[in-house]
Amino acid sequence: MKNVKWLPVFVFVTACAGLAFSQMTTTEHRTVSQIEDHSITVVEGEFVPAADAMPEDKYSFAPTNGEFKGVRTFAQQVKHVAAVNYMFGAAILEEKPPVNLGSENGPDSITSKADIMKFLKDSFTYLHKAMASVSEKNQTDLVKAPFGEGKMSRLMIANIALWHPFDHYGQMVEYLRMNGVVPPASRGQ
């Protein structure tokens, strides 16, 4: 029953992967790892510029008007995504994360925008490494789930890693706009 809640997510991500795959030439064979890695590149291409667009003096911003009590600051949103990228990558690779994460909110010691951006970029590099390890042969192998108990397939973890940053990207876009910053993806070409 627990896995049923993931079914719509799996269907959505699979459809997105299918769309990305269909846009490639039909004569070119793409592996699972190439498709997943390309999808992470797309996510990274939206998320990293949005994280970089917020001025450093606004990195501690969190909305206070309305029902926003206890929400993450902009910096905490970015650090959370980076930490979870590492957690997903480590689960796929069946290894310990290569950095001390502290928690799913990232290390408390990382506070400057420059350090947070490095942490974020490095997390995507590690996630690319993990995606490169997913193959037709091992994609359905069950590995330890990154959160809680149980096991999940490598492909399921890879797919969750694709949509998770976009959950927080939407919040970051709101934070940017509340501070008068037009998100990079919304700027004219």
Residue 7: its pLDDT value, please?
45
Residue 51: its pLDDT value, please?
Answer: 97
Tens of pLDDT, residue by residue, the chain (189 residues): 455 454 454 444 454 555 555 555 455 788 888 989 999 999 999 999 999 999 999 999 999 887 888 899 999 999 999 999 999 999 999 999 999 998 899 999 999 999 999 999 999 999 999 999 999 999 999 999 998 789 999 999 999 999 999 999 999 999 999 999 999 989 876
**Domain locations in the chain as residue ranges:** 2-186
Angle between the N-to-C axes of helices 154-178 and 113-132, in degrees from 0 to 180, rounded to the nearest 10: 150
Beta bridge partners of 153: 142
CATH assignment of 2-186, among 3.40.50.720, 1.20.120.450, 1.50.10.10, 2.40.50.140: 1.20.120.450
Q: How far is CA 138 from CA 7, 63, 121, in A?
A: 20, 43, 26
Q: Are 175 and 71 in contact (CB under 8 A)?
A: no
Q: What is the pLDDT of residue 11?
A: 44
CB atoms near residue 169 (< 10 Å): 20
First and final CA of the chain: distance in angstroms? 46
